[in-house]
Structure 1
Amino acid sequence: MIGWLRKRLAARYLYHTGLWKAASRGVISLSLLGICLAAPGMPTGLGGGADLLLFGLLTAVGSWLAAHAVAIVLSFVYVPVPRLFAGYALYAGTEIYLLSYSADLTAASSLAIAAVLTAAAAGTAAAVALLRRLPAAGARRQAAAAAVGAAVMLSAVWQLPAADPAAEPVLADSADGYTPADAADGGDSADALDSVLGAGLYAGDPAAAGPYAFRYFTYGSGDDRHRAEYGNGVTLKTVPVDASAYISDWPWLKKLFWGFDRKSLPVNGRVWMPEGSGPRPLVLIVHGNHLMEQFSDDGYGYLGQLLASRGFIAISVDENFLNYSVWSGIPDNDMKARAWMLLKHLQQLKAFGSEPGNPFYGRIDWDKVGLIGHSRGGQAVAMAADARRWFAGEDKLMKDLNGVRIRSVAAMAPTDRAVDGKHAELNDVAYLTLQGARDADVTDFYGDRQYNRTTFTQTGSGMFKASLYMTNANHSRFNTSWGSMDQKLPGGLLLELKPIMDGDDQRRAAQVYISAFLEATLHDNAAYAKLFQDYRYGSDWLPSTTRYYSQYEDGSFAAIADFEEDGDRRTLTAAGTAEATGFNEWSEGEALSRSRNGKGTKGVILEWDGTASYTLRLQRGEMNGQFAKAAEPAVLTFAIADLSRDLPEAGGKNKRAVNPGSSITVEWITADGKRREVPLASVMQWEEPEFVTFTRLPFLEDTIDDGKYKEPNEPVYQTVRVPLGTTKAEDIVQVAFRMDGGAGKAMLDHVGFASE
């Protein structure tokens, strides 16, 4: 028996000669390459170099052990194959399969990728070994030819999805594209905009540094294991807080990494404070969910420095301990904990502000507080601004925050999931949201939902809500620490990165809008309002490497029709009726996101193929008195979204719509019979819809991450504001939208009057 066992063990090397040895080296190399690509996506906290060394060593040992184990089994059952090679190939294929599956690919796609890459690695290594056996000169020529051929083939396969010109964006600065500074009449950009939109914008570039010198320092626990700025380099020490009321479980690996658990979460922050004395507006910035070991709070320095130079106290809040880790997961109920931590920072800052000698003493204007959040942080800031919906039972916390007025909330690519079955509802709080069409993480424009849940009861308060949708922006580049990819490695390698705007450009757009938003709402600088009413006012400031869609509404808005009242397409919010002629479809329905889930607002859906007209007839009387709050000069305002993705002529995935710029004319009639017509193109360019390819391999679009990338387009609203001139809103008895040719499908919403 012992002799037989020895023979069987020795037989594991049977057939393992020549080309099979070379093929084994190929699949071993594939295993090492795969783990090196995956290592940055599953950090241990030891550092990038240490992770590569550790994972590489484990892979080398693991593949050797697995190969010999498989070879022994095959030897014992007398399978006549190259047994060691089979073991190495099985290990490499299994590793690639698991890495692909963890990147949200389906089992079938992961298996196919693993099989192809394993076969390619083995075949390439064997081919190289075979070429080495040829005479030296011939071998060199053939090896060079093979290398060039392989490179060409790999490049062709990798770039295939980008070859479809219909999938490429029309950039704002391209020859046949639309330059935001250009008005419809083609005149000088500044004069043309003034003629269309009113007075010029006299405030300077909001992304330019302001006149204030500022200092940088940190506050925190003083004993952070990984960052000196929250350890022995901290300026102000804070007392940890107990979050066990919201987090029920804290894995031991998470405690091992951080040195604390849910009962002692640190209150850490990076501060950019303007020099001088006297109270200044306070702005907290909070990151979203990223790999816990790759810290996120240092990624908003570009905002902190800019805001401090313009007179705001800016603080980037550390909530990395609430983020996901490959090794210890993510805390339960993390969304509520994120919002709660923001409130604890405000509580701590109020305490600092009452201590003589403290840098915050007398420096914060508690009537002017703004919150900025990114991703899950974008949802957390809205929750914090509506804190009593979740934290009414926190008596001391809520009492300590008396006198704190959160006036402004800005969210970059926010999430919007229900927490305890509830969502934030903002009233008389200014709201701004930014989103990219090429966001491969938060693919739906969830900020649209919060925009629709933001309302105003105070006319003339200066509060407003606005959104900006950028066709070439992604998710990660709002944070300088998150890299260029929206998915961690190795899955991020599958994402198409070519059309995405440069990180500096994306952050430049964020600086323009967020700085102007805070100037308007916390510094009461009304000059910046025009930027939110029409993005073209920022044409000299905004990058031209993307196209923009924007929404705007303030407390002066009085609705003719918001389509929320009863589902009857013929009734209006105001007293009156609606009628339509010449449409293939005329119905009311909910606006749908990319994933075809509701956005929380309804509109009227109009589909036409030729001449059509949609008319709103208003009854004179009591209801028209509500339009008086749209003080003169007033505008007719409405939001329009392109639904041509649902037209059969749109050509399916990655194809442009047939004619999204169909001729539309807006007209109104007053009680004395005066009529005025305004072509839509004379006041606002109706941009083509954006159709997006997220991955390099088109067959993955419909399957990866449960079809997350299946829909190539999300209809987004563009607000249009048509000046009424000397006409009073309350004198108008009819508003009509005429489609004078071509084909199209659109949704109208928020039709009404507002102050100019």
Structure 2
Amino acid sequence: MYRKLKTMFNGLLPFYPLSSINQNAIRIGLAVWSSLFLTFVCLTLLRGDIWLLQLAGPLLFIFGYILIGFVVGKAYFFLLKVKNNLLFSIFVFAPVVIRFLSAVYGLPAALLLYVLLFTTFAFISCYLAKLLKAPKRKIFSPYLAGSLLMSVCLLTAHQFFIQPQDLNRFLTEVKQDANRSAVADPTIKGPFDFRTFTYGSGSDRRRVEFAEQADFITDSVDGSLLLDNWHGITSWMRKLYWGIDVTELPVQGRIWQPITEQKTPLVLMVHGNHTMEHFSDEGYAYLGEHLASLGYIVVSVDQNFLNLTSAEGYFGFSKFRLRDENDARAWLLLKHLEQWRQWQASSTTDWFKNVDLDNIILIGHSRGGEGVFIAALFNRLDYYPDNANLKFDFNFNIRGIVSIAPSDGQYEPRGSLVELDAINYLTIQGSADADAMVFMGASAYARVNMDSEDFYFKSSIMINSANHGQFNSDWGDCDLQPYICLLAGQQVPVMAATEQERISKFFVSRFAETVTKSDRPYLNYFQHAQTAATFFPGHYFISNYLDSNSLIIANFENDANLSSGNAAKISAQGFTQWQELKLKHHPGWQWTNLNTHAVKLAWEQNPASFTLTMDASIIHNDKTCFAFSVSNALDENSSETITNFSLQVSDHDGRTAQVELQKYYQLYPLLTRKPKLSEKAFIEPTFQSVQIPLQDFAVANVELDLTHVHSLSFVFDKTSKGKIYLDDINLTKCVGL
């Protein structure tokens, strides 16, 4: 055995990478493969309306990292007074290759992978040199062929082993409504036919539909007071590509208009940040067509000129990029509404008195989702908060806003997050989102105040297996840089694009119908979104909900006193943990606050109880519900698949009645999320709203006096151990009753 091993080792010696006869071969192999890899990365960035300078940013970035490697290598060998061309080559290519690999796999894995790749290519290079007996300077073609072959083999093997992980297998147990066949599909075309138009500057250099083919010509607007970093490279690149500067931002959009004599509500949709050369406004046609068929005038607003471009530093040269522009996105939306107000008032236009400006809805995706939130704030102000030289005079009747997988906190007037009141709000997010990796819309949800005499509601909905890009039909299923998706694959299963569009159409159209019609016909889908699974078998929705009918008993925002609520005294017993805390989306990310406090309760044996005793007996009727928001704090690895407990109501004479949560709602473990291969899987607190009619407690105990409710209790007597968060405990008018 020893002799066989020795013979094998001696046979490999000619291919030993660091032997002097092979070092030139290794250097060529390393240079060829590194060049191929970097070319692959650059080519994946070429999307949309390709122009030469689209590669400027990546090429400058690559050159910069190679220069760093060159300088470090020279300094290393100068200080040690040695010369080794092979090690110098490793120094030159290491920074840039490791930088790209770390974006896919993380830095530790990238370092290890670089070593493994170098070693592998060293042996291949040596083998080819030995096999071909080629002169040192005439072996480039064999190395090119060998590098290509190995790259294909590695990528194929990688894709075979890197498969999406089903991190939420428990969802197969989610109960579905068996009566779907009896209900018409709500995402099919509505009763109205529609026409399409475009409006624009008439001089758009890249989009004929907004230039010579535009149906209506609009005036440009001056955004210089909002975009104070539109200068230097940013200004030069946009002038070169779009032919505009910051003082002449175009007001452009594509319209879907229902064919009807009725006065129709107006819906504006706006995209988020994406490669500006890969136009984004066309990707919401599926929403525009559907809403128009239901009787809404819909506009997909063009703001591509505010989006990023690799030409100005795609990979992190933020100093040279247009940034902090979400306030400008919001302002531009309101300038579109001003244009529609002019058209609606002018007898010379097709829309004279046909646009219902008392019913306006704004819809935004990604940064556009934050943009519509800011627009709702600006709409009610007299001045731009950051510069009073820009006066506002909007005051539109914006009935509701929809934020789809939004960003949050990129614009903070007075250094504070934007807060809203007296408006209807919907935010939706996918659990497979690898761009907005946490549900930032839930943070905005917490900052929408429901204290109003008029009726308003807010709802947040988490959609399992939806990603970021497929809310826009042109963005696709890759939420990251294309080369990252090609190398790493999908980390979690992502639903089909057509199904994600159907779900988006359902919730957006139901929201529009609810906020523009007096009878609010679809409110139940936002209070308990899982009922929508009737139309989407196999899909899972988690929804949180609150409306202005709610009487808050405890929302844990007042003080540090655990025994006090908004309108009740609090007591608890039997818990291993009873704590009020400010929640985060992700425990390791400091910037991802949920902007809400909640109470965390943990128990290891039942029963345990959490009781809210009213400051005064409150009179209710048969349409009142005991309501609250709850989030499981257990992950899928818990021994308890479903957390269950009882709800108890007591009257002023001490009579009690209980109902079981599971008869109304299923409280599953939190969705496990892993948006990137380089990120660890994590769970994010995701609240689910619960409403239980008080009348059901009277059925459980006919002697219970519901005219004077004295206390509300959570009794943990069903599940042996568990952890939950509770928030927004309230009494409210039941949705759907």
TM-score normalised according to structure 2 size? 0.81
Which of 175, 184, 193 in structure 2 is aligned with 1:179?
A: 175
Matching residue's letter, 1:732 = V
The residue aligned with 2:597 is 602
Any conservation in 2 of the 1:632–1:755 contact (CA below 8 Å)?
no
| 2:36 maps to 1:32 | yes
Change (3 A) 1:149 1:357: closer
Structure 1: stretches of 5+ with no match in the other structure: 1-14, 134-145, 182-187, 192-200, 646-654, 702-709
Matching residue's letter, 1:36 = F
| 2:624 maps to 1:634 | yes
| 2:709 maps to 1:714 | no
The aligned runs of 1:200-349 (5 Å cut-off) are 205-250=185-230, 251=234, 252-328=236-312, 329-349=320-340
Shift of residue 511 of structure 1? 1.2
Shift of residue 469 of structure 1? 0.7
For the aligned residue pairs, the C-alpha RMSD in angstroms reads: 4.0
Shift of residue 670 of structure 1? 2.4
Change (3 A) 1:521 1:478: same
Matching residue's letter, 1:640 = V
Shift of residue 437 of structure 1? 2.2
CA distance in 2, matches of 1:449, 1:683: 27
The residue aligned with 2:571 is 579
Any conservation in 2 of the 1:451–1:465 contact (CA below 8 Å)?
yes
CA distance in 2, matches of 1:385, 1:361: 25
Q: Please, which moves more after superposition, 256-265 or 116-125?
A: 116-125
Change (3 A) 1:301 1:43: closer
Which of 468, 471, 478 in structure 2 is aligned with 1:478?
A: 471
The residue aligned with 1:643 is 633
The residue aligned with 2:50 is 46
The residue aligned with 1:668 is 649
The residue aligned with 2:97 is 96
CA distance in 2, matches of 1:536, 1:459: 29
CA distance in 2, matches of 1:234, 1:190: 43
The residue aligned with 2:169 is 170
Shift of residue 396 of structure 1? 9.1
Shift of residue 550 of structure 1? 0.7
CA distance in 2, matches of 1:269, 1:153: 45
Q: Please, which moves more after superposition, 611-620 or 320-329?
A: 611-620
The residue aligned with 1:5 is none
Change (3 A) 1:387 1:206: farther
TM-score normalised according to structure 1 size? 0.79
Change (3 A) 1:443 1:260: same
CA distance in 1, matches of 2:351, 2:88: 64
Any conservation in 1 of the 2:625–2:693 contact (CA below 8 Å)?
yes
Matching residue's letter, 1:407 = R
Any conservation in 1 of the 2:674–2:681 contact (CA below 8 Å)?
no
SS at match of 1:611: coil
Shift of residue 305 of structure 1? 0.8
Percent pairwise identity: 27
The residue aligned with 2:317 is none
Any conservation in 2 of the 1:473–1:500 contact (CA below 8 Å)?
yes
SS at match of 1:24: helix
The residue aligned with 2:713 is 736
Change (3 A) 1:352 1:366: same
SS at match of 2:673: coil
CA distance in 1, matches of 2:530, 2:110: 45
Change (3 A) 1:457 1:154: closer
CA distance in 2, matches of 1:613, 1:59: 60
Any conservation in 1 of the 2:643–2:722 contact (CA below 8 Å)?
yes
Matching residue's letter, 2:39 = I
Shift of residue 150 of structure 1? 9.6
CA distance in 2, matches of 1:158, 1:92: 25
CA distance in 2, matches of 1:516, 1:668: 33
The residue aligned with 1:706 is none
Q: Please, which moves more after superposition, 681-690 or 528-537?
A: 528-537
Q: Please, which moves more after superposition, 445-454 or 280-289?
A: 445-454
Change (3 A) 1:388 1:308: closer
Shift of residue 131 of structure 1? 6.7
CA distance in 1, matches of 2:613, 2:57: 73
Any conservation in 1 of the 2:55–2:310 contact (CA below 8 Å)?
no
The residue aligned with 2:399 is 407
CA distance in 2, matches of 1:171, 1:124: 46
Shift of residue 19 of structure 1? 9.4
Shift of residue 372 of structure 1? 0.5
Change (3 A) 1:117 1:227: farther
Any conservation in 2 of the 1:93–1:115 contact (CA below 8 Å)?
no
Matching residue's letter, 1:263 = T
CA distance in 1, matches of 2:175, 2:93: 51
The residue aligned with 1:513 is 507
Any conservation in 2 of the 1:495–1:695 contact (CA below 8 Å)?
no
Per-residue CA deviations over 1:317-368 (Å, capped at 9, x if unaligned) read: 1111111222225324301111111111111111122222423322210110
SS at match of 1:501: coil
CA distance in 2, matches of 1:359, 1:24: 68
Matching residue's letter, 1:282 = L
Matching residue's letter, 1:234 = A
CA distance in 1, matches of 2:554, 2:83: 77
CA distance in 2, matches of 1:53, 1:386: 38
Q: How many residues are paired up?
A: 672
SS at match of 1:737: strand
Per-residue CA deviations over 1:593-630 (Å, capped at 9, x if unaligned) read: 12364312222110001113323243474x625xx4xx
The residue aligned with 1:538 is 532
Which of 370, 374, 390 in structure 2 is aligned with 1:383?
A: 374
Change (3 A) 1:129 1:665: farther
Any conservation in 2 of the 1:415–1:446 contact (CA below 8 Å)?
yes
The residue aligned with 2:136 is none
Per-residue CA deviations over 1:244-280 (Å, capped at 9, x if unaligned) read: 1111232212221111111111111111111122321
Structure 2: stretches of 5+ with no match in the other structure: 1-18, 134-146, 313-319, 699-704
CA distance in 1, matches of 2:512, 2:276: 30
Matching residue's letter, 1:751 = I
CA distance in 1, matches of 2:81, 2:563: 80
Change (3 A) 1:230 1:611: same
SS at match of 1:577: strand
Any conservation in 2 of the 1:660–1:689 contact (CA below 8 Å)?
no
Matching residue's letter, 1:606 = L
Per-residue CA deviations over 1:714-755 (Å, capped at 9, x if unaligned) read: 011011111222758652212211212422111111112111
